[in-house]
């Protein structure tokens, strides 16, 4: 995307922000179950999605609903100004 914008005559700035936090495993499981409304899980292959969801479910059964997992996401900001 960056190169396409530059070729189209835009001045482009990109900023990347990484966020990490601990969340309850049961919350992660409930979020992941919303596959159709959350773009990244929707892009996963079915077998990858299903096995990852099963892994979260097993973690809840083994460690309890109040167990904690690490959650991480990356936000990328793109500012493109023509000129």
Q: What is the pLDDT of residues 13-61, one digit of tens each?
A: 999 999 999 999 999 999 888 877 766 666 778 888 899 899 999 999 9
Closest CA to 62 of 25, 7, 36, 18: 25
Residue 41 pLDDT? 60
User: Which residues have CB under 8 Å from 15's CB, separation 6+?
Assistant: 76, 77, 79
Q: Please name the residue that has the structure tokens 């167990």.
A: 67
Average pLDDT over residues 77-81: 96
Q: What is the DSSP letter of 1?
A: -
pTM passes above 0.75: no
The parent domain of residue 77 ranges over 2-82
Q: How many domains does the chain have?
A: 1
Residue 81 pLDDT? 96
């Amino acid at each position: 995307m960056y190169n396409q914008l530059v070729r189209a005559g835009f001045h482009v700035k990109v900023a990347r922000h990484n966020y990490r936090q601990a969340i309850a495993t049961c919350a992660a499981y409930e979020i992941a179950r919303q596959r159709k409304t959350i773009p990244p899980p929707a892009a996963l292959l079915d077998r990858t999605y299903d096995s990852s969801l099963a892994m979260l479910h097993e973690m809840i059964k083994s460690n309890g609903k109040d167990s904690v997992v690490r959650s991480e996401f990356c936000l990328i900001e793109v500012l493109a100004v023509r000129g």
